[in-house]
């Protein structure tokens, strides 16, 4: 199987690679209408593994259950072909990991916005009975300051069959919950733990359980040794509740969101109320405690069920402690953090005032229909180039119709009908695939839908073609009577107006969309669009010059002026008689006199 990335996958054109992992490669792609999407393609050697296909199928299944503006939605998927892929919304931004390592930890206002957005995403994920299992900074995109959760590759449904082998776990160790490392039952509380670890990274620039060997990090996670003293004082209480070793001691996603909305950088006292754990049990937390010592980092005591305290664990030897965390180099050192003092200590003399707490945002559930995203400026210029090529093609068609009104006019009618039929057929197919994904039954649906698309196109054309013909007659009247043009010259320009009306008048939207879809598929790069603009511009210019410089060719019909003279000799001089006579003579010249309603 070839390892080279294809230029197209289904209806999507791959523009460039934007990421790569162990499972596959993520490409920036364009759909049939030129909108940007992210296409995740399995590696060829991975696609041959049935378990990997099961994992991809599960990823699509879980992502389609979640509806949230903070979660990247699935647009399309192909799971049964030779190259399985998943198409999701493209997020034009950087990952949280890249942002923090490049620009330093987030400021307080940005940190609260991140925590609240991630909590709202987690509420939607858990409401769909999904466990993400892989919350980490590299799986969170920042789009205009708002977080977007991506990559459900190892997510699974609650109570679903696990695909990993016994004794094995998948994920990034520094952000895993203790129960995942122990290979015990995994619940939605694991996501709460990983989310808090991700927020800790955004606040400090490092993972909460330090760095070092794999065993040292896992030991710190299972023992609950989070380095909370490195986090801002106002955030430590929120982190300590979510990073509990006991899964049942952690708050649920809705409770964590309520606590996130109460975060205030100006307050170093963590006011808590009773919250509901993931299993539905009520847990009583401390109220109005001043975090003036490291006792704030201990797990909360359940006063409702007193139990004898366990014997204190022996203090670890000094040599057993993992090496201290060394921050990664950054391009520029971040500005000094806002006031982080603990109650009772004086404020630093040069400390900046803490920013005011942002007002909590009211969460609004997203609509079922996917949102439309505006492509960046470079891609907008490319799309404008494709649309300009379509305009130049229409100008060329109109000029050719002025040169050969009868022959090219008939071709324009046939072209409009074919484009309309194709748009009705394949446009509906694209909309179905964006709603429910691709299916092996798509070719059969195209075959079954072809007769209906033909009938629908014919019915619309029966109304639209006479409408365009009436527009051409009006142009002929204006040019002949007001512009003092000869009958033949005015009729040639009227034929050009008729050809243009097939695409620009009301009812010509389907042919235009079909042309746009076709040009987007053919023009594979901005450079190709530029070349096409130059070539079509030259063709349009020569066509217009020839149309203006030579007499029209009316074959296989006669010149309209001679036909009008014949009709005048037959005493059919009324306006309606003249129009019907011209139409009848034209259809006879084309060999279509048997369908003439006035014969």
Helix (H) or strand (E) holding 36: strand 36-42
Q: Is 448 helix (H, G, I), strand (E, B) or coil?
A: helix
Cβ atoms of 343 and 326 closer than 8 Å: no
d(CA 51, CA 46): 9
Q: Are 487 and 477 in contact (CB under 8 A)?
A: no
Residue 22 and residue 530: Cα distance in Å, rounded?
37
Query: What is the distance between the alpha carbons of residues 61 and 155, in angstroms, rounded to a whole number?
Result: 10
CA dist 544 → 72, 373, 401, 503 (Å): 49, 38, 10, 19
For residue 329, give the DSSP letter: P
**Gap between the Cα atoms of 334 and 329, Å rounded:** 11
Q: Which of 31, 76, 134, 191 is catalytic?
A: 134
The Cβ-side half-sphere exposure at 122, using a 13 Å CA radius, reads: 31
- Three-state DSSP class for 20? strand
134 catalytic per annotation:
yes
3-state SS of 528-567 is HHHHHHHHHHHHHHHHHHHHHHCCCCCCCCCCHHHHHHHH
Instruction: For residue 282, say whether it is annotated as part of any ligand binding site.
Output: no
Report the DSSP pairing between strands 289-290 and 269-270: antiparallel
Sheet of strand 94-95, all strands in order from the earlier edge strand to the far edge: 94-95, 140-143, 146-149
The residues that are catalytic are: 134
- Which parts are annotated binding residues for ATP? 40
- Which parts are annotated binding residues? 40
């Amino acid at each position: 199987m070839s390892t080279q990335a294809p230029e197209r996958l289904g209806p999507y054109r791959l523009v460039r690679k934007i990421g790569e992992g162990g499972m596959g490669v993520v490409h920036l792609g364009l759909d049939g209408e030129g909108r940007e999407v992210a296409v995740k393609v399995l590696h060829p050697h991975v696609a041959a593994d049935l378990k990997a296909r099961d994992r991809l199928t599960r990823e699509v299944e879980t992502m389609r259950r979640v509806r949230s503006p903070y979660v990247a939605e699935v647009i399309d998927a192909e799971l049964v072909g030779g190259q399985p892929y998943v198409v999701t919304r493209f997020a034009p931004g950087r990952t949280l990991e890249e942002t923090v390592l490049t620009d330093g930890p987030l400021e307080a206002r940005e940190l609260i916005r991140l925590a609240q957005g991630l909590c709202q995403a987690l509420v939607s994920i858990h409401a769909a009975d999904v466990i993400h299992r892989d919350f980490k900074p590299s799986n969170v995109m920042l789009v205009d300051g708002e977080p977007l959760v991506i990559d459900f590759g190892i997510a699974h449904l609650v109570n679903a069959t696990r695909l990993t082998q016994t004794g094995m776990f998948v994920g990034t160790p520094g952000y895993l919950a203790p129960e995942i490392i122990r290979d015990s039952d995994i619940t939605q509380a694991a996501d709460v733990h990983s989310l808090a670890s991700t927020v800790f990274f955004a606040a400090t620039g490092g993972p909460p359980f330090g760095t070092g060997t794999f065993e040292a990090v896992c030991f710190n996670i299972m023992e609950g040794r989070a380095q909370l003293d490195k986090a801002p004082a106002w955030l430590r209480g929120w982190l300590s509740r979510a990073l509990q070793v006991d899964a049942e001691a952690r708050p649920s996603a809705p409770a964590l969101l309520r606590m996130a909305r109460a975060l205030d950088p100006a307050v170093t006292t963590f006011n808590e109320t009773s919250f509901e754990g993931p299993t539905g049990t009520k847990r009583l937390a401390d109220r109005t405690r001043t975090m003036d010592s490291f006792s704030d980092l201990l797990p909360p005591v359940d006063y409702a069920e007193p139990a004898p305290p366990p014997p204190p664990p022996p203090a670890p030897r000094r040599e057993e402690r993992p090496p201290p965390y060394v921050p990664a180099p950054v391009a520029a050192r971040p500005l000094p953090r806002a006031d982080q003092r603990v109650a009772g200590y004086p404020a630093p003399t040069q400390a900046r005032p803490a920013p005011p707490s942002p007002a909590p945002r009211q969460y609004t559930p997203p609509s079922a229909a996917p949102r439309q995203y505006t492509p960046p400026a470079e891609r907008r210029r490319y799309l404008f180039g494709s649309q300009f090529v379509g305009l130049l093609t229409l100008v060329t068609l109109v000029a050719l119709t002025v040169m050969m009104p009868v022959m090219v006019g008939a071709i324009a009618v046939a072209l409009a009908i074919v484009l309309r039929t194709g748009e009705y057929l394949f446009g509906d197919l694209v909309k179905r695939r964006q709603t429910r994904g691709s299916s092996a039954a798509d070719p059969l649906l195209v075959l079954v839908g072809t007769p209906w698309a033909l009938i629908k196109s014919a019915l619309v054309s029966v109304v639209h073609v006479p409408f365009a013909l009436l527009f051409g007659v009006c142009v002929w009247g204006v040019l002949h009577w007001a512009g003092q043009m000869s009958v033949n010259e005015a009729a040639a320009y009227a034929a050009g107006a008729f050809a243009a009306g097939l695409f620009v008048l009301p009812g010509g939207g389907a042919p235009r969309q079909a042309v746009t879809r076709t040009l987007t598929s053919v023009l594979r790069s901005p450079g190709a669009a530029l070349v096409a603009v130059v070539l079509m511009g030259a063709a349009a210019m020569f066509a217009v010059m020839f149309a203006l410089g030579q007499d029209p060719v009316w074959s296989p019909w006669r010149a309209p002026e001679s036909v009008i003279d014949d009709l005048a000799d037959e005493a059919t001089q009324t306006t309606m008689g003249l129009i019907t006579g011209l139409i009848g003579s034209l259809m006879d010249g084309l060999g279509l006199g048997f369908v003439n309603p006035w014969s």
